[in-house]
Amino acid sequence: MEAKRRALQLAQAGVPVYPLAPGSKTPPKGHHGYLEATTDTAIIATWPDDCNVGISLYGARMVVIDLDRQTTSKEGKTVHREKNGLKALTDYLKEKKIQFPQNCYAEMTPNGGAHIFMKLDHQLKQATRKTGALPGVDILGDFVIVAPSVINELPYQAMENK
């Protein structure tokens, strides 16, 4: 119920959302993911209480910097082998003498990575996704799963802004 409540909050703020199957990053059968994202609270109210939630980044005029880091899954398997997206991004910004924006919203992913949300002042020309922009760094401009969705019994969580 918490994810559905969050979907309603996002929709009321003008952020298009779409349902994902419980415990999954994929849409439920019969749904088309971010292609049918909506801000219509009456539609969202019909979603299952245990759904995960995604947002249309394109529709919300946002991009997400997806930072992976090597970690171990609950089953003991290595996830994102030898990747440290935060270090790669920090090194890149330092090399290029670029200051990272301070007023970003961020979420911790279930595997210990992070999603950094940035609002754009313009619409992207098209929904886009750049994987491997840097080692362990993807740039998402199409869609993303958001807190408090759960994958492998682990939640996405809002990070404190410091």
Please state the pTM of the whole predicted model.
0.88
What pLDDT tens digit does each residue of the chain (162 aa) get?
A: 899 999 999 999 999 999 999 999 999 999 999 999 999 999 999 999 999 999 999 999 999 999 998 665 566 664 455 678 989 999 999 999 999 888 899 999 998 899 999 999 998 999 999 999 999 999 999 999 999 999 999 999 999 764
Spatial CA neighbour of 51 closest among 99, 7, 103: 7
Name the strands in the sheet holding 62-67, side by side, starting at the edge strand that comes first in the sequence. 129-134, 137-140, 62-67, 114-119, 105-108, 157-158
**C-alpha neighbours within 13 Å on the C-beta side of residue 42:** 0
d(CA 109, CA 67): 9
DSSP single-letter state for residue 27:
P
